[in-house]
Amino acid sequence: MSDPMGNIMEVEHVDAAYGPYRALFDVSFTIPAGGVVALIGSNGAGKSTVARTITGLVQATAGTIRFDGVDVTQKPAWQIARLGVASVVEGRGVFSQLTVEENLTLTFRQRGTRKELSRNLEKAYESFPALGERRTQMAGTLSGGQQRLLSLAKVLVIPPKLLVADELSLGLAPVVIDMVYQGLEKIRAAGTALLIVEQQVDRVLKISDKAVVLDRGSVTFEGPTNEAGNVIESLLARRERAGSTAAKLVDEAVNDGVDPEHVVSKLVDEATKGLDA
């Protein structure tokens, strides 16, 4: 029962802040039902804040967020989750003091029925044999990649209406990234809409239909992925330019024996200039 436009989520003029620090400025975009949206932007652009705001972890200070026709702007995270939004958070998204199986059980009991629990657990272990071998291990002792797989397994087995995934591939080996994206394809085929937050753009643009580009807390582009090319190009170019500037400055400093603090301030100048351009 998505709305007439066929959007599962609509974000309109949303501001968000951490205490006195504002992080989002008038952010608007939509996620089509069953569609895949890539949310991209450089480090600190506010991507995670967007993910947190639409899942209810951070409260929007202005604007509205509608999910599946329901206004969820003021709802707490658990109510939004119950409406059908699943989320894989940035970094560690598992309970380190619970075992692998307990982590899965916690989610499956909440999203599925008690009867289906053992079948769902089996499904998870089938898709991720690495987890099957470590059922009774504390999740905190898993490797970073395995933890990521576990948080993915939690949301893949019972497809939600919308999955928000923040920096899924960060720090993972290429083989594991392949697994992750296969999982995403699968869940998409089951009808789940996806909002994929990534800095690593090449990969996510292949699977997404739509891209939203965020810069310093504001949306600078929203449209079909194939039209996003230019914006992303310039984003990448800027990143590259700033990166090489930094490298050059550091080299200079090392050669000249300059006070490092001086270099940092120069670096900041350069970087800000790059942004204003």
Partner 1 sequence: MFETFFGFAIPGIPFGCTYAVIAVGLVLTYQATGVFNFAFPAQAYAASLVFTALIQSAHLPSWLAFIIAAVIMSPLLGLAFDRLLFSKIPNTNTTAKLVTGISLLVGLPSLLLVAFPSNYYNPPSLIWDINTVYLTFWEIPINGAQISSVVVTVLMLGALVGLLRFTNIGLQMRGAVESRRLVQLDGVNAGGVVAVAWMVSSFLAGMSGILFSPNFGEIQSQNYALLFVFALAAAACGSFRSLPKTAIAAVLIGIGQFLFQGYLPTTGFLFTTVLPSFPFLVLAGALLLMPGLRNLDSSADPLSSVDPPLPPTAAASRLPQMDRMIKIAWYTVLGVFVVSMLTWIPKDWESVLNQGLAFSALFLSITLITGMGGQLSLAQATLAGVGAFTAAQLALHLGLNFLIGGLIGAVVAAMVAVVLAVLSLRLRGLGLALMTLAAALLFDTAIFSNQTLAGGSGGLNIQAKWLGLDLNNPNGHLYFIVAFLVVLLITGMILFIRKGTTGRVLGALKGSETGAAGIGINLTKERIMIFALSGAVAGIGGVLLVIQENVANPQSFNYAFGLIFIVIVVTTGVSTVEGAIQGGFGFVVIQKLLGYAPARFADLTFVFFAFGALTYAAHPEGILEFQKRRSYQRIERFFPSAMKKSEENELAIGIAGGVSDD
Ligand X SMILES: Nc1ncnc2c1ncn2[C@@H]1O[C@H](COP(=O)(O)OP(=O)(O)O)[C@@H](O)[C@H]1O
CB of 274 to partner 1, least distance (A): 5
Least Cβ distance, residue 271 to ligand X (angstroms)? 13
φ/ψ region of 35 (left if φ > 0, alpha if ψ in -120 to 50, else beta) reads beta
Total number of residues binding partner 1 (CB under 8 A)? 58
Cβ-based nearer residue to ligand X, 121 or 212: 212
Nearer to Mg ion, 48 or 169 (CB): 48
Residue owning tokens 């239909």: 209
Residue whose CB is less far from ligand X, 18 or 252: 18
Query: Within its chain, how far is the Cα of 146 from the centroid?
Result: 17
Distance of CA 136 to the CA centre of its chain: 28
* Among the residue ranges 19-27, 48-56, 150-158, 180-188, the one whose residues contact Mg ion (CB under 5 A): 48-56
By CB under 5 A, tell whether 30 contacts Mg ion: no
Mask: binding to partner 1, 232-261, rule CB under 8 A, as x and -?
A: ------xx-xxx--x---------------
Range in contact with Mg ion (rule: CB under 5 A) among 78-86, 89-97, 155-163, 237-245: 89-97
Q: Which is nearer to ligand X, 52 or 111 (CB)?
A: 52
* Distance in angstroms (rounded) separating the CA atoms of residues 165 and 150: 13
What CA–CA distance (Å, rounded) separates 258 from 20?
A: 36
Selection from 70, 42, 92 nearest residue 198 by Cα: 42
For the CA atoms of the chain, what is the radius of gyration? 20
59 binds partner 1 (CB under 8 A): no
Task: Please state, in angstroms and rounded to a whole number, the distance separating the CA atoms of residues 88 and 142.
Answer: 17
Binders of Mg ion among residues 170 to 229 (CB under 5 A) are none
Hey, CA dihedral for 50, 52, 54, 57, is it positive or negative?
negative
DSSP run (H or E) holding 61:
strand 60-67
Which entry of ligand X, Mg ion, partner 1, none binds 87, CB below 5 to 8 A by partner kind?
Answer: partner 1
Single out the residue of 158, 156, 153 nearest to residue 116, CA to CA. Answer: 158
Instruction: Decide if 177 contacts 183 (C-beta within 8 A).
Output: no
Which residues of this chain interact with ligand X, rule CB under 6 A? 18, 21, 23, 41, 43-49
CB nearer to partner 1: pick between 38 and 94: 94
C-alpha span between 67 and 56 (Å, rounded): 11
Cα torsion 162, 167, 172, 173 to 10°: value is: 80
**Interaction residues for partner 1, span 109-168 (CB under 8 A):** 109-111, 114, 154
Contacts with partner 1, 159-178, as mask; x by CB under 8 A: --------------------
- Reduce the DSSP state of residue 103 to 3 states and report it: helix
Residues that bind partner 1 (CB under 8 A): 17-23, 42-46, 52, 55-58, 76-78, 81-82, 86-87, 89, 91-98, 102, 105-107, 109-111, 114, 154, 199, 215-217, 238-239, 241-243, 246, 267-268, 271-272, 274-275
Residues that bind Mg ion (CB under 5 A): 48, 90
